[in-house]
Structure 1
Amino acid sequence: MVEIIQTKKGLLEYRSEGNGPVVLVLNGGHTNCCSPFEHEEFFLGKGYRLVIPSRPGYGRTPSISGRTAEEFAHTLSSLLDALMIDKVIVIGISAAGRTALHFAGNYPNRVTKLILESAVTCEAWPDSRTRRGALIVFNRLSEKFTWALLRQIGRYAPDLFLKLLLPALSSLKADEVIKSWDENERRAVLKFLLASRSGAGFLNDIKHTFDDFTQITVPTLIIASTYDKSVSPENSIKAAKQIKGAELMMIPAQSHLIWFSKYKTEIENKIAEFIQD
């Protein structure tokens, strides 16, 4: 169920599914609360409740609700207050990694576990070329046309669509990545990518920062692919070294989209083990 809520820190769109202990899911760039979350069935099947906000600039959450990662961390705390939720497991995906880290660092008493997946942490991100390109193709005026064009290509020439996007997601050749997916995975990838919109959110994301890992005292699991081109694996490796007691799971998934791979079950088994400890 998608709702809009006015918190003490700002307006926020979110989706809530299921009942039980709460998992706060922070989706990555070009997504909102309605974007496919590939672990949804996994968590709901294990009796968890998912609370998935649209981060500032995405969906119907305005940028003013948290232009920086730390500002939005405070808004998230206000959301939990409004929903009368005390503690959560936090999942930070891709560009939401720094928000997840700020939330865990500022509110350790509200976080039971922290999971980072393909997440941006401390490394410079994105690279200067991507940053310059983002200012052109993903600004507030152009992003709707960028994604409209890509969706048209995706509907009529799906393999071309994938080949256009995969060089930004994987260090492997696009054909190799496509061949690694079975038909269900390929359909899921297309569904996920075709649902993308940037709003004002992505230009917020590329300005986020985080540099103080001493703040992170909660149990942390970090999962990343060795072939991730979008977010350098060094983000995960350095974070694991600097967060006391952090567990690092590096897998040879063929792209940044680690959930769309033959390693999905292995990832979810590791998550199950981690959250049950």
Structure 2
Amino acid sequence: MEYRLEGESRRTVVVFHGGHMRAGLALGEEVFAEAGFTVLAPSRPGYGRTPLSTGTTPAGFADATAQLCRSLGIERLAAVVGISAGGRTALTMAARHPHLVERVILQSAVAFLPWPDRLTRLGGRAVFNAQIEAGTWAFMRSLVRLAPPVGLRLLLRSLSALSSCQVLAGLSPAERATLVGLFSQMRSGHGFVADMLPVPDCAAQVGQSALVIATRHDHSVPFAHAESLASVLPNAELVESRADSHMIWFGPDYPRIATTIRAFLAAG
């Protein structure tokens, strides 16, 4: 398993990033580091240097991550964080290892509803399968570097229910630069196609307190996923973001959300 471990605190959070991400790419982790937590970010199966065989299901990878924690001397996790397609793995780990996981934080997370929609599934298998994805991302890297507004608008179309022009207009120059840097390093490997497979629903088995954060403008993961989790998880709080897209960290109210996350962790 490929992973990144940053920080020296004895309090650790595991971050399961979403699709097209790997351990070497950080997104939304600053809130945990600034609060004094160590961050453990593994590459999920099929991403980075973690092969699909390292847990061919979320349950298998949750068990592998628990074993990694034991190998690193981590006896207790302050939280597991599930971002986007990493949400199901975070929930599965919380359900299977309650002795290890104290709390759950879900950000724009995929629930156990049918996902993605048929068009996205077909398109994803066509352009992000392991034989094609390198070329797909090479094209996108060239586009966002040579014509950033055009490349960002193209990528944001799948992430927001609003017009991509409107979303782009709401981003600061620094936020645009961050997205250009992020999109320039993404890869799908074998992971994204695997992310689209159905997963057994374990939400009702998660007894830990959970913070569910999402925006109604998310086109990639509809807000219904957050509502579903908030209604099924026994101890869940739903926090609605005002972000214009799937990327809640670039919303105008993210400082408020970051404060909520810190308070949620402190309560533990």
Same-fold status (TM-score > 0.5): yes
Offset of residue 32 of structure 1: 0.2
Unaligned runs of 5+ in 1: 1-11
Offset of residue 209 of structure 1: 1.2
Separation in 2 of the partners of 1:124 and 1:80? 31
Deviation track 1:90-133 (CA, whole Å, cap 9, x = no partner) reads: 10000001001100000111111100000001111111111111
Identify the residue that residue 64 of structure 2 maps to in structure 1: 75
The answer on whether the counterparts of 1:69 and 1:208 sit within 8 Å (CA) in structure 2 is: no
The answer on 1:149 being equivalent to 2:143 is: no
Offset of residue 208 of structure 1: 4.2
Separation in 2 of the partners of 1:205 and 1:190? 24
Identify the residue that residue 184 of structure 1 maps to in structure 2: 174
2:148 aligned to which of 138, 146, 158: 158
The answer on whether the counterparts of 1:227 and 1:256 sit within 8 Å (CA) in structure 2 is: yes
SS of equivalent to 1:111:
coil
1:18 aligned to which of 7, 15, 24: 7
Identify the residue that residue 88 of structure 2 maps to in structure 1: 98
SS of equivalent to 2:211:
strand
Unaligned runs of 5+ in 2: none
Deviation track 1:41-69 (CA, whole Å, cap 9, x = no partner) reads: x3222221110000110000010001211
**How many aligned residue pairs are there?**
265
Query: Once the two structures are aligned, what percentage of the paired residues are identical?
Result: 38
The answer on whether the counterparts of 1:101 and 1:210 sit within 8 Å (CA) in structure 2 is: no
The answer on whether the counterparts of 1:116 and 1:222 sit within 8 Å (CA) in structure 2 is: yes
Identify the residue that residue 7 of structure 1 maps to in structure 2: none
Separation in 2 of the partners of 1:177 and 1:97? 24
2:206 aligned to which of 216, 226, 231: 216
Identify the residue that residue 197 of structure 2 maps to in structure 1: 207
Q: Which amino acid aligns with 1:226?
A: R
- Relative distance call for 1:17 and 1:111 in structure 2 (3 A) is same
Superposed CA RMSD in Å reads 1.0
Identify the residue that residue 246 of structure 1 maps to in structure 2: 236
Identify the residue that residue 261 of structure 1 maps to in structure 2: 251
Identify the residue that residue 137 of structure 1 maps to in structure 2: 127
The answer on whether the counterparts of 2:92 and 2:202 sit within 8 Å (CA) in structure 1 is: no
The answer on 1:46 being equivalent to 2:46 is: no
Q: Which amino acid aligns with 1:259?
A: W
SS of equivalent to 1:151:
helix
The answer on whether the counterparts of 2:241 and 2:254 sit within 8 Å (CA) in structure 1 is: no
Offset of residue 248 of structure 1: 0.3
The answer on whether the counterparts of 2:209 and 2:236 sit within 8 Å (CA) in structure 1 is: yes
Q: Which amino acid aligns with 2:103?
A: K
Offset of residue 261 of structure 1: 2.2
Q: Which amino acid aligns with 2:130?
A: R
Separation in 2 of the partners of 1:36 and 1:16? 11
Q: Which amino acid aligns with 2:62?
A: A
Deviation track 1:176-222 (CA, whole Å, cap 9, x = no partner) reads: 10111111111112212222100001011111414232211001000
SS of equivalent to 1:141:
coil
Task: Give TM-score, length-normalised by structure 2.
Answer: 0.96
Separation in 1 of the partners of 2:111 and 2:89? 9
Separation in 1 of the partners of 2:148 and 2:215? 24
The answer on whether the counterparts of 2:21 and 2:186 sit within 8 Å (CA) in structure 1 is: yes
